[in-house]
Amino acid sequence: MTSSLPIAPSPPQRRRPKRRGVPKVLILGLLVGVIVAAYLVLRDDGEEPRRRPQAFPVPELTPQARTTVPFQAPPIDMARVPELSRRMQIPERMLVAYAKAEELQRQTDPACGISWTMLAGIGRKESFHGRINSTSINQDGTLSKPIIGVPLDGSPGFRAVKDTDKGAMDQDTTWDRAVGPMQFIPTTWKRYAVRVSGDGQPADPQQVDDAAATAARYLCAVGDNELTSPQGWWKAVMTYNESVSYARDVFSGQDAYAKAVQSQ
In this predicted model, what pLDDT tens digit does every residue of 166-185 receive, in sequence order?
999 999 999 999 999 999 99
Q: How confident is the model at residue 30 (pLDDT cuts 50, 70, 90)?
A: low
Total domains in the chain come to 1
Instruction: State residue 116 phi and psi, 5-degree precision.
Output: -60, -25
Helix, strand and coil content of the chain, in percent to the nearest 5, comes to 45, 5, 50
For position 53, what pLDDT does the model report? 57
Residue 150 lies in a domain: yes
For position 262, what pLDDT does the model report? 86
Residue 51 has pLDDT above 70, yes or no: no
For position 2, what pLDDT does the model report? 40
For position 47, what pLDDT does the model report? 39
Residue 234 lies in a domain: yes
- Residue 135, helix vs strand vs coil: coil
Query: Is there a contact between 102 and 78 (Cβ–Cβ < 8 Å)?
Result: no
Nearest-angstrom CA–CA distance, 55 and 75? 23
Which has the closest alpha carbon to 229: 101, 107, 123, 118? 118
Residue 89 has pLDDT above 50, yes or no: yes
Q: Report the percent of the chain where pLDDT is more than 90.
A: 78
pTM above 0.95, yes or no: no
Instruction: State residue 223 phi and psi, 5-degree precision.
Output: -95, 15
Instruction: State residue 220 phi and psi, 5-degree precision.
Output: -65, -40
E strands, the chain, in order: 148-151, 177-179
Residue 249 lies in a domain: yes
For position 10, what pLDDT does the model report? 43
Residue 245 lies in a domain: yes
Residue 160 lies in a domain: yes
Q: Which of 52-61, 98-107, 116-125, 248-257 has the lowest mean pLDDT?
A: 52-61
Residue 184 lies in a domain: yes
Full domain range(s) for residue 225? 78-262
For position 263, what pLDDT does the model report? 80
Mean pLDDT computed over every residue of the chain: 86
Q: How confident is the model at residue 257 (pLDDT cuts 50, 70, 90)?
A: very high
Residue 177 lies in a domain: yes
Q: Report the percent of the chain where pLDDT is more than 70.
A: 79
Radius of gyration of the chain, Cα coordinates, nearest whole angstrom: 32
Nearest-angstrom CA–CA distance, 256 and 121? 9
Work out the average pLDDT over 29-50.
44
Which has the closest alpha carbon to 149: 173, 180, 118, 186? 180
Give the tens place of pLDDT for each residue, 187-209.
Answer: 999 999 999 999 999 999 999 99
Q: How confident is the model at residue 21 (pLDDT cuts 50, 70, 90)?
A: low
Work out the average pLDDT over 54-65.
93
Residue 26 lies in a domain: no
For position 15, what pLDDT does the model report? 45
Query: Is there a contact between 147 and 181 (Cβ–Cβ < 8 Å)?
Result: yes
Query: Is there a contact between 249 and 255 (Cβ–Cβ < 8 Å)?
Result: no
Instruction: State residue 150 phi and psi, 5-degree precision.
Output: -75, 160
Work out the average pLDDT over 218-228.
97
